Amino acid sequence: MRVLAAVDKFKGTATAAQVAAAIGHACWELGHDCVEVPVADGGEGTLEALGGANRINTVTGPLGAPVDAEWRFHRGTAVIEMARASGLTLVGGATKNDAMAASTVGTGELIDLALSMGAKKIVVCLGGSATTDGGLGCVRAITAPNRLKAVQLLVACDVQTLFTDAAPVFGPQKGATPPQVDMLRGRLERLAQMYQEQHGVDVRAIPGTGAAGGLAGGLVALGGRLMPGFDLVADELDLHDHIEAADFVITGEGYLDEQSFEGKVIGGVDAMCRKAGKPLAAVVGDSAPDVIDRIEHVSLAREYGLEKAMNEPLWCIEQAATALLRNR
């Protein structure tokens, strides 16, 4: 049997590649072929899913201190996770962040570097930002934005938040007080007017431009194209072709709930398998009661206990995959 392991990370316990390898080992033990395809939804883990970092450059962090940002450049394609340059974790979380000052300059510096290296495609993965600067720091850090006209700029985005709503929706998560949220929203409104005047794009009218504190809007103003994160990753990995070639597909992620079917990996793989008429099952860390019947799956916490699932996730994943394969 030809098995496809198309899985997301189990956050905090196993990377997507480790999960896929554990399923692959279960297949090997039972005499099945397995294609291992670590997948992501456009946020954390996307860089690894698209080949992993092969560059490290020092850029300006969200609060001005230098940070060493990992990114990828291969055969004319750059993959940049904005959180590696402008992420909230880089400043120690919301309590240590300066929500008014946090900037996306570092992300722009990576884009500028990719352009100087001759990139023809630039994939920017949003999520985990410390910033609500509307992408202004990023836009200003790109020394010759006209170069982007000759580049395919893809922006992985998994929210529909409008540009000026970035402040009230995401600001508090980044440490902004209610008065600061009001100031940030006003700043975004003025910035949207500036983008329209300078680039001819009204980012206020485009769903998703509020992602990453409005960085999505800044990139759209420069000609970027917003794409659902899972769809972008699936296209880059030729996931459709892998599913067509498989007899059975195993997907998975750390926690299965309603959100899993709204732009996340399990929902995306599920939709593709239904369209292709391919059988699918999932391995998950745990699952919410209201989605137990949505997809065939094994919950590691239920089957092996939460402690073992947390401490020996790869053993549990291999056992769960073995159980699913024996039922085919």
Each residue's pLDDT tens digit, 96-148: 999 999 999 999 999 999 999 999 999 999 989 999 999 999 999 999 999 99
Nearest C-alpha neighbor of 110 from the set 92, 94, 124: 124
Q: Are 325 and 295 in contact (CB under 8 A)?
A: no
Q: Which amino acid is at 219?
A: L
pTM value surpassing 0.85: yes
Query: Does residue 327 register a pLDDT over 90?
Result: no
Q: Please give the domain boundaries of the chain with CATH numbers for all domains.
A: 2-39+238-326 (3.40.50.10350), 46-230 (3.90.1510.10)
Per-residue model confidence (pLDDT) at position 180 = 98
Per-residue model confidence (pLDDT) at position 44 = 82
Per-residue pLDDT tens over the stretch 281-312: 999 999 999 998 999 999 999 999 999 999 99
Per-residue pLDDT tens over the stretch 213-259: 999 999 999 999 999 999 999 999 999 999 999 999 999 999 999 98
Query: Does residue 36 register a pLDDT over 90?
Result: yes
228-to-154, 244, 262, 313, 319 alpha-carbon distances in Å = 10, 21, 10, 29, 32
Pairing outcome for strands 152-157 and 121-125: parallel
Q: Are 97 and 172 in contact (CB under 8 A)?
A: no
